Structure formats: C-alpha cells, structure tokens
Amino acid sequence: MLSRWPAALIGVLALAAALAAGHLVAGFVGVNASPYLAVGNGAIDLTPVWLKDFAVRTFGTYDKLVLLSGMAVVMVVVAAVAGLLSRRTPVPGLVVITGFGLVGLVAVYARPDLDAVALLAPLASLAAGVGTFAFLRRLDVVPDRSRRTVLLAGVVAGAGIAGLGGQLLAGRRDAASSREAVGRLVPVRTAPTIPADADFAKLGTPTFLTRNDRFYRVDTALTVPQVRAEDWSLRLYGMVDREIRYRYGDIRNRPLVERTITMTCVSNEVGGTYVSTANFAGVDLADLLEEAGVRPGAEQLFSSSVDGWTSGSPLAAALDPSRGAMLAIGMNGEPLPIEHGFPARLVIPGLYGYVSATKWVTDLEVTTWDARQAYWLKRGWGREAPIKTQSRIDTPKGFETVPAGKVRVAGIAWAQHTGIAKVELRVDNGPWREAMLSHEVNPDTWRMWWLEFDVAPGGHQVVCRATDKSGYTQTEMRAGTVPDGATGWHSIAFTAR
Ligand SMILES: Nc1nc2c(c(=O)[nH]1)N[C@H]1C(S)=C(S)[C@@H](COP(=O)(O)O)O[C@H]1N2
Ligand SMILES: [Mo]
C-alpha cells in the first residue's frame, strides 16, 4: 500500500499533467479549447444572476481571477483526495481523473465558438491524466529511490513545459499584430474637438474622453477573444432582401464617421464606475441594414460575438438616423483595443451595453423578438434597456475629511440620447441648489458639474440628482441593477475639519 503523501502527490501530478496537455493542444486548436478555461467559461454562463451580481459586487474586475483560482483549489483538493483513496488500488483515482476529463470534454463541446477539432484538447487532457496516474501509481515497484525521483521530476517538468508551450503558441495566434498592421483609421467626418470646458477634471471629475486603457470593461469572456482583422467577417442576414458578408477591408474602406458617445453598463450601481466616454469611428449601422434591405415585420437586431455571446437590440434604434448607431472599428483615434472588441463592435447610443454594444461581433441577424432570445435576456434581464438618467458625486470621496468652510462638490451626470438639463445638490437636507454644468458636447454624452457649499466642522452628507431634457428628474427610489438598471440618488458622507 502506498503511503499517504506520495499517494496524494500522484493525484495532484496527474491533474497537472492533464491540464498542461490540454493547454498545449489548445495552443494549436484555439486557446478557448483549453479544458480549464472551457470549464471556467461554462461556469460563467451557468452562473445564476444573483451569484454573478454578488461576484461582481464583491470582487469587481477580479471576479474571473477569483473563479479560476477557486476552480484550481477545488481541483487540487479533489485530485489529492482521489490519490489518497487510491492507496490500495488505482481505481478510485482513475474514476475521478476520468470524471474530470469528461467535464472538460462537455465544457469544450458546449462552447459555441469551437468546432470538433477543439475536442482534441480535452481528449489530450484525459489521456495525459489517466496515463500519468497509472504510470506514477506503479512507481513504487521501481526499487531504486533516486530513479523514482528522476521519473517524478520528469513528470513535473513535462507538465510545466507543455503548459508554457500552450501559452506561447496561443500568444502567437493573437490579434495584437493584426491590430498593429491596421494602422491609422482616418474618418472623413471626425468628431468635433472636445472644448476645454467640457469637463471639470481639475475639480475632480473624470476627463471628458476616457483613455482606452481606463475605459470600463464588462464581458463574459474569460480570455479575451483573439480575432485577426484578416480572418474577421460580418454576416448580415435574416429578414433581409439579400444577405451580405462584409470583410474588414470593406468596412475600413467606407467613409468612416466618428462620434463621441458615453457608454454605460446596466450593472452600474448608483455611484458606480461602469460609465465611460470615447470617440468611436465606424460606419452607420443603418447604412448596412439598408443595403441588405430590411423586410417588414422585423423587430430585433440579434447580434452574436465570436465567443458565442449574443445581444438583442431594437431594430428601430439601429435604423433611426437621429440616433447614430454604429458598427465601430476605431476608438479614440486607434483601431478598437482587443479587449473592447477588435476588429469590430456595435455601439448604439442611449442603450445599456448588453443590448447595444456587442464586441468581436460576427453576426447580425434581422429577426423578431419571439424568434431569438439574447444571452442576458435568457438570464432575467430586461428586453428594452434604455440608459436611465443618473448622476454621481466624484468629489469629495465617501468618508473623506476636508477643511471646513468652502467645500467644492463635483461629479458627472448622464441621460444619453436625451441630454442633461440640470443637476441639483443638497447638503444635510438643506435646500436643493443648482450646480454649474459643463459645456454640452452632445446629448449622447455625460456632462460634468460642480458647486460650492459653506460647511461647518463636523459630519455632512451631500446628495445629487439630475433632470434630463425631457423634464424627468431622477427618482429617489432605490432600485437594484436587475432587470434594467439601478435608480436612486447618489449620496456621499464626508467630514469637515
Ligand atoms: N462579446 C461580448 N460583447 C459584449 C459583452 C460581452 O459580455 N461579450 N458585454 C456587453 C456589456 S454588458 C457592456 S456594458 C459592454 C461593455 O463594453 P466595454 O467592455 O468596451 O466597456 O459590452 C457589451 N458587449
Ligand atoms: Mo453591461
């Protein structure tokens, strides 16, 4: 009978060999075929809304790292236990490893963005796991202790090299070099220059345009999809007179327009950070749809990403010339960053991102609401999701201590596609006072505001609320983000000294 430590170690080593072999093969057939990542992606897609919400609230952008680490811990523990149970006979260990392998196979099989070749990765995992386990189990028949050590070290090194090799191979196929090769995109109509008084960054608001590397990011992708411009195409089909396929060059060579647009995520809590602004360059979605010829009765523009994520936008919004819905390929003067959808994405002003902003978009199907249900709709989020009028206090920060006397409060407000009419502030339940507004760039973007108050030493609370150009004033009623966006007034507690 094997002693405890070697038994547990054998389980863990077999697991490592399995994951590494799968990752190596995935380096050839596509990184998402890596069984580990496929299981992670599957877990994300299966996660109920409440748990996803909890994860995003608790871990923010680290939610995926937490998921992957959690998976790793669980797998190591299970593998060690499987090893321990196999001290007398290898059967329990083989059953557990095979079980892992099958989960990996199912996860890869279920990925919408992978074809049958991808199954080679989890099959390699299964073979390497079972093989390594069976091999190491028989090591105790090797009489020579140092030879045993060499064999063990060999397994560890082999797993390490295979894993790293997979990582390197995956990197070689990435989209970065393709994006470099795109070069400068020159819109025929650039967005108007942002005037200096469009933000109050010196007073603590964000800058008007958000730098690409500071732009909020929300997606379900565990690894950023790598799509090379030369491999990309967009298929426009469904309830249209003629189906059209656009290649990257077809889009890039059209007269590009550029628009300044503030995007917002439906998961943005009151006071949250999932709101950013950029100059997007691309073509009018309405032009593409007109070329295809939309048939009567169509209601929904159902878009799919290369990673299988889907979104349903109201077709009327995509067609409305006053809204300026785009297929965007540029962001702030550069080709779209890979994590923001390179080579191409949708941007429809005024709608939350999950119904308007498909990244890595490859399919546009013109259809009805009944025919297709998009990713988040199936998971309990609303079908119609116009962005709700909101405002946020950026300075002072919550629980900040500031000098008593004149305190300057500054922040942002947005009501995309309607425009902000005024922002009011109230300190300690005093009267509402109107804030100074920044220059309006266009109604699809945020506006900045500031106002000064005289405050005595002690604790204070400041609240803001925006009124949009339709005359609607933000409701005080607190609503959570599910199903169609949070409501309520943002408030900040601070101390004056
Ligand atoms: N392929 C894909 N596109 C996507 C998503 C996604 O999960 N996958 N998330 C959407 C959501 S919820 C939002 S708010 C925006 C965010 O875009 P950004 O990451 O560029 O800020 O992208 C949208 N497009
Ligand atoms: Mo979102």
DSSP letter for each residue of 462-473: EEEEEEETTSPB
User: With 0-12 CB in 10 A as exposed, 13-18 as middle and 19+ as buried, what is 378?
Assistant: exposed
User: CA 330 from chain center: how many Å?
Assistant: 18
Q: What are residue 329's phi and psi, to 5 degrees?
A: -125, -5
Give the residues across from 493 on adjacent strands: 461
pTM over 0.95: no
Q: Is the dihedral of CA 132, 134, 135, 141 positive or negative?
A: positive
CA gap 350, 103 in Å, rounded: 41
CATH, residue 255: 3.90.420.10
Q: Which alpha helices (DSSP H) does 351-461 contain, by range? A: 375-378
Residues 44 and 190 in one domain: no
- Enclosing H/E stretch for 259: strand 257-264
pLDDT score recorded for residue 163 = 82
Please report, as a single letter, which amino acid is at residue 477: M
- The domain boundary, picked from 357, 379, 401, lies at 379
CB 234, CB 363: distance < 8 Å: yes
Among 314, 331, 307, which residue's Cα sits nearest to residue 187?
331
User: What phi and psi values does residue 467 have, to the nearest 5 degrees?
Assistant: -120, 130
Probe residue for ligand 1, chosen from 64, 209, 218 as the CB with the greatest number of ligand atoms within 8 Å: 218
* Torsion sign across C-alpha atoms 237, 242, 243, 245: negative
Please state the atom number of ligand 1 nearest to the C-alpha of residue 305.
1
| Closest ligand to residue 218's CA | 1
Are 342 and 453 members of one domain? no
The structural domain count of the chain equals 3
Task: Give the pLDDT confidence score for residue 463 in this predicted structure.
Answer: 98
| Residues 92 and 161 occupy one common structural domain | yes
Q: How many helices (H) and strands (E) does the chain have?
A: 12, 19
The pLDDT score that the predictor gives to residue 15 is 92
Residue 42: predicted pLDDT: 85
Return the exposure string of 96-116: e unless at least 16 CB atoms fall within 10 Å of the residue's CB, then b.
Answer: bbeebbebbbebbeebebbee
- Whether 451 is covered by a domain: the verdict is yes
- What sign has the CA pseudo-torsion 140, 141, 144, 146? negative
One-letter amino acid identity for 71? Answer: M
In a domain, 475, yes or no: yes
Is 264 inside a domain boundary?
yes
Distance CA(201)–CA(165), nearest Å, equals: 45
With a Cβ cut-off of 6 Å, ligand 1 is lined by 215-221, 263, 265, 305, 307, 309, 340, 353-354, 357-360
Residues 224 and 369 in one domain: yes
Burial class (CB in 10 A: 0-12, 13-18, 19+), 430: exposed
How far away, in angstroms, is 303 Cα from ligand 1 center? 12
Q: Is 350 left (phi over 0), alpha (psi -120 to 50) or beta?
A: left
Q: Compute, in angstroms, the gap from residue 27 CA to the centroid of ligand 2.
A: 30
Residue 422, SS3 per DSSP? strand
3 state SS of 104: helix
Contact 79/96 with Cβ under 8 angstroms? yes
- Two structure tokens written together for 152: 């063990």
Same domain, 306 and 220: yes
Examine residue 177 and state whether it is found in any structural domain, yes or no.
Answer: no
pLDDT at 171: 66
- Same domain for 358 and 259: yes
10-residue mean pLDDT profile of the chain (497 residues): values are 85 92 87 85 81 76 79 90 90 91 90 82 92 84 78 84 80 81 94 97 97 96 88 97 97 98 97 98 98 98 95 98 97 97 98 98 98 94 97 97 97 98 97 98 98 97 98 97 96 97
Q: Is residue 29 in some structural domain? A: yes
How far apart are alpha carbons 308 and 310 in whole angstroms?
6
Pocket test for ligand 1, best of 219, 262, 265, 375 (most atoms within 8 A of CB): 219
* 70 Cα to the center of ligand 1, angstroms: 24
For residue 52, the enclosing domain spans 4-171
pLDDT at site 61: 66
Alpha helices by DSSP H, listed for 60-186, are 63-85, 91-110, 120-137, 145-172, 176-182
Which domain-ending residue is among 316, 346, 379?
A: 379
Question: Could you list which residues have their CB under 5 Å from ion ligand 2?
Answer: 218, 265-266, 353-354
Beta-bridge mates of residue 244? 236
In a domain, 341, yes or no: yes
How many angstroms separate the alpha carbon of residue 92 from the centre of ligand 2? 44
Residues 190 and 338 in one domain: yes
104 with 253, same domain? no
Question: Quick one: 53 and 76 in the same domain?
Answer: yes
Whether residues 81 and 122 fall in one domain: yes
Atom 20, ligand 1: which residue's CA is nearest? 340
Distance 339 CA to ligand 1 centre (A): 9
Residue 216 CA, closest ligand 1 atom number: 21
Same domain, residue pair 395 and 362: no
Nearest-atom index, ligand 1, CA of 376: 12
C-alpha to C-alpha distance for 448 and 393, rounded to whole angstroms: 10
DSSP state of 479: B
Same domain? 404 vs 262: no
